[in-house]
Chain A
Amino acid sequence: DSGVTQTPKHLITATGQRVTLRCSPRSGDLSVYWYQQSLDQGLQFLIQYYNGEERAKGNILERFSAQQFPDLHSELNLSSLELGDSALYFCASSGLVTTGELFFGEGSRLTVL
């Protein structure tokens, strides 16, 4: 158990819809990262937050947005969903010093039909 909690674990929705994925980081971790993993693909970095502020941005689509709240949990919002958005979405957290050790949740599997 990494200590990172993601909900929901599975989500099935239709094209054009909007979903919100939620992540609770490990206790005490200030950084939250979001990654997308498509079938048989690597981990694509989407966005990072540190203590409520956006710190780094990767290949995140304009249809996607995220935020980190004062209690440090984070949400990833995916809107105008397309078939190609079907993927595993991972949240990871890290502590104060960015050593590279990320603690990943079990992921949220999104299926867009």
Chain B
Amino acid sequence: GQQLNQSPQSMFIQEGEDVSMNCTSSSIFNTWLWYKQEPGEGPVLLIALYKAGELTSNGRLTAQFGITRKDSFLNISASIPSDVGIYFCAGLSRNNNDMRFGAGTRLTVKP
């Protein structure tokens, strides 16, 4: 099946620092998404990207859909303690029948 390679696996940063994580695939996706999972909860959608090259922001979060349609990145600027959680990239395939998730990036923010 389609594999999503997400990196880094974990990050330990100081409050106020910027964060960058990315996701690559050997397959083409026509939608890339970024979700966040907080402890004890299910993932929640942060940003959805529908067009190759698209750059979208949501507050301090910015994500881009790679022009090859095989990668995406997520940046978080000026991190705060509540940014702690696991961030998942997800790709939706051409047939839109299933969505695959990356392994996640576990973010820890030190005050």
Interface bracket on B: 20 to 34
Given contacts A59-B1, A99-B31, A100-B90, contact A43 B101 (CB under 8 A): yes
Given contacts A58-B1, A59-B1, A98-B92, contact A45 B41 (CB under 8 A): no
Instruction: Determine whether the beta carbon of B101 is less than 8 Å from that of A35.
Output: yes
Give A2 to B6 CA distance when docked, in angstroms.
Answer: 25
B82 an interface residue at 8 Å Cβ cutoff? no
A56 an interface residue at 8 Å Cβ cutoff? yes
B104 an interface residue at 8 Å Cβ cutoff? yes
Q: Which residues of B contact A101 (CB under 8 A)?
A: 33, 45, 48
- On chain A, the number of residues with a Cβ less than 8 Å from chain B's Cβ atoms is 26
- Give the residue among A33, A45, A55 with the most B Cβ atoms within 10 A: A45
Give A102 to B42 CA distance when docked, in angstroms.
Answer: 10
Instruction: Determine whether the beta carbon of B41 is less than 8 Å from that of A106.
Output: yes
Q: Which residues of B contact A98 (CB under 8 A)?
A: 92, 96-97
Instruction: Determine whether the beta carbon of B42 is less than 8 Å from that of A100.
Output: no
- Nearest CB of B to A6, in Å: 8
B44 an interface residue at 8 Å Cβ cutoff? yes
In the assembled complex, 6 residue pairs joining A and B whose CB atoms fall closer than 8 Å, in A order, are: A42-B104, A45-B101, A58-B1, A59-B1, A99-B31, A100-B99
